[in-house]
Chain A
Amino acid sequence: MVISTNTDLSFSPLGDRALLVEVGDHADPETVARIRELADHLARLDLPGVLDFVPALCTIGVHYDPEQWRDESKVRTPYERLVARIQEALPDLESLGVSEGPLREIPVCYEAEFGEDLTALANAHELSIEQVIQIHSGAVYTVYMIGFAPGFAYLGPLDERLALPRRETPRARVPAGSVAVANQYTGIYPADLPGGWHIIGRTPLQLFDSSHDRPSLLSAGDRVQFVPIGAAEFRDLRTGQ
């Protein structure tokens, strides 16, 4: 059932109306960049009956209408026909230039009123609050994937010095804009949501707006750097939106 190709992509069905293209076997910025290039390339093909591309850590999900890929002679299934069409259209992965995604700067206020768990995180790692802020804002992250909620970006890799398992008891409500960490990720809550990550700050930016054609500020493959701001600037930026 799994179809392999010479470009080390493999395909597998995800039920009768979707399939998975496996691009790599573990999540890292390079795999994510390859997935981004490939997903963009696939989207440009404008394949009939293809409804959605869903990039994730090592795979791209392709949702399709099997009725559009029927073989009247019934020799091949719609799945096999679509896979064959994608394979034909795929450039050699090596020749597909893998470029870095655009860099987006996200202002974050790390002050205590927003970063509820910052002190606890610093204590757990025997760091000062300043060191935590410096480590967190000193790195450039890659958007590994968008999921969990509309516009929720998983950013990685997080510096091991800040890694902490999720809270044992999730909060019923984490305010929109909260910047948080858990395990090897950092992320931003795009709306008021329940959540178990450790909150270390808040951004005034709006991460998700369903009234926009492109509703999410971030896309898989984008790069992100956090820029520390003070509470006054937070309020200015907030009002300016």
Chain B
Amino acid sequence: MAAQVIRAGLLTTVQDLGRYGAQRFGVPVSGAMDRYSLRVANRLVGNADRAAALEITLVGPVLQFDSDTLIALCGGDLDAVVGDKPLPMNRPVWIARGSRLAFGQCLTGCRAYLALAGGVDVPEVLGSRSTYLRAGFGGLQGRALKAGDRIELIGVSESYFPGLRESQAFSDEGFAAPNWSVRVDAERLMLQPQRVRFVAGRHWQHLPSGVRKRFVGENFRVGAASDRMGYRLEGVDLDKHGFGDIASEAVAFGTIQLPPDGNPIVLMADRQTIGGYPRVGEVASVDLPLLAQLKPGDTLRFERIGLGEAQRLFHLQRSALAQIGTSIMAAGSQ
């Protein structure tokens, strides 16, 4: 046992790194929208990167802990509090039995990741614990959390950051956290328009030059109908491009589709496996976490980079994550 859901929040789902291996059967990958934050949160509590955690969207839940639990909260700042104290982010937190974790308003970003030591215990479906809402499988009974649900954990790590549980704060405040945190570029998260780098796809050269020019020169706005499946971008008149449907082919996380109305759709975690619209290209993986933190009304501007550069930046991000992981492990045993 770990926690009881008192209030569910707007959209709180169980997610991991996604469901691979069944896309040929039309099964979407799903998984966390901001996988970088999920990985960091998991490492902070001693979990494997692929452990299932809670993805919390805009308006967070209220959770009542019924056992001492090591948690970590990363990603967007959704104003988490325990009692009247803010819950510090991007660090390990031992939260005491009986404590209540609540969320206020969305301060930065749009999604927070709550990792719990041991990982959320829901059955694996096709190799993943991610929730796929549209088809109603994975996660907790294929749906978002609701009041009354119980969050069970697979195992409990008693030995990670043991010192925190012995601190005065743990008994007085109901939680204890170190005074350090994993370094996150909070300013980058607040940048408007957000810079989103992309790699041109094979249709890029066939798009009219006017469309290409406006695509990289102007600011887009994230539309209200954006969700885990795709971000609808508005505000730039790309014209009708005269490029009809194409023979449907595989899409990726970050594929930028251009439907006939000229409003691009960036495919996100719950995207379908194939698509029949022409594509501008794909968002560089290194920038997907930032894109996933944009909410309706936020603005972004695309910047074109080469494939080699995108793969190099992705490697640098992974290397930074590995370093963070090593530091956490060193601190965790003390």
- Chain B CB within 10 Å — which of A20, A61, A77, A147 has the most? A147
Q: How many pairs of residues, A versus B, come closer than 8 Å at their CB atoms? A: 149
Interface assignment of B244: CB less than 8 Å from any CB of chain A: no
Tell me the minimal C-beta distance from B28 to chain A in angstroms.
7
For A55, the chain B residues whose CB sits under 8 A away are 24
B247: which A residues are within 8 A, CB to CB?
26-27, 56-59
Whether a CB of chain A sits under 8 angstroms from the CB of B170 is no
| Distance between A59 CB and nearest chain B CB, rounded to angstroms | 4
Is residue A151 contacting chain B, with contact meaning CB distance below 8 A? yes
Interface flags, A53-68, vs B, CB<8A=1, else 0: 1111111110100110
Residue-wise interface mask of A (175-204) relative to B, using a CB-CB cutoff of 8 A (1 in contact, 0 not)? 000000000000000010000000000000
Q: Is A52 an interface residue (CB 8 A)?
A: yes
Determine whether the beta carbon of B199 is less than 8 Å from that of A13. Answer: yes
Could you mark each residue 36-71 of chain A with 1 if its beta carbon is under 8 Å from any beta carbon of chain B, else 0?
Answer: 000100000000000111111111110100110010
Taking a contact as CB atoms under 8 Å apart, the answer to whether B25 and A146 are in contact is yes
Whole-angstrom distance between the alpha carbons of A30 and B314 in the complex? 38
What sequence of 0s and 1s flags, for each residue 107-126 of chain A, a beta carbon within 8 Å of any chain B beta carbon?
Answer: 00000000000000000000
The answer to whether A191 and B250 have CB atoms under 8 Å apart is: no
Bound Cα distance A215, B24 (Å): 10
Q: Are B23 and A63 in contact (CB under 8 A)?
A: yes
**A79: B residues at CB distance < 8 A:** 307, 311
Given contacts A16-B307, A145-B274, whether A216 and B135 have CB atoms under 8 Å apart is no
Q: Which of B49-57, B84-92, B278-286 faces chain A? A: B278-286
- From B29, B137, B250, B282, A56 is in contact (CB under 8 Å) with B250
Q: How far is the CB of B142 from chain A (nearest CB, A)?
A: 8
The answer to whether the Cβ of A96 comes within 8 Å of any Cβ in the partner chain is no
Partner of B315, one of A27, A51, A66, A149: A66
Contact residues, B191-226 vs A (CB, 8 A): 199, 201-202
Bound CA–CA A66/B311 (angstroms): 7
B248 within 8 Å of A (CB atoms): yes
| A12 & B202 in contact (Cβ 8 Å cutoff) | yes
A-B contact pairs, 27 of them (CB 8 A): A1-B307, A12-B201, A14-B282, A15-B282, A15-B284, A16-B282, A17-B285, A18-B250, A20-B202, A51-B20, A52-B29, A54-B273, A54-B274, A56-B248, A57-B249, A58-B247, A61-B23, A61-B249, A79-B311, A146-B25, A147-B26, A149-B135, A149-B272, A191-B135, A208-B25, A210-B126, A211-B125
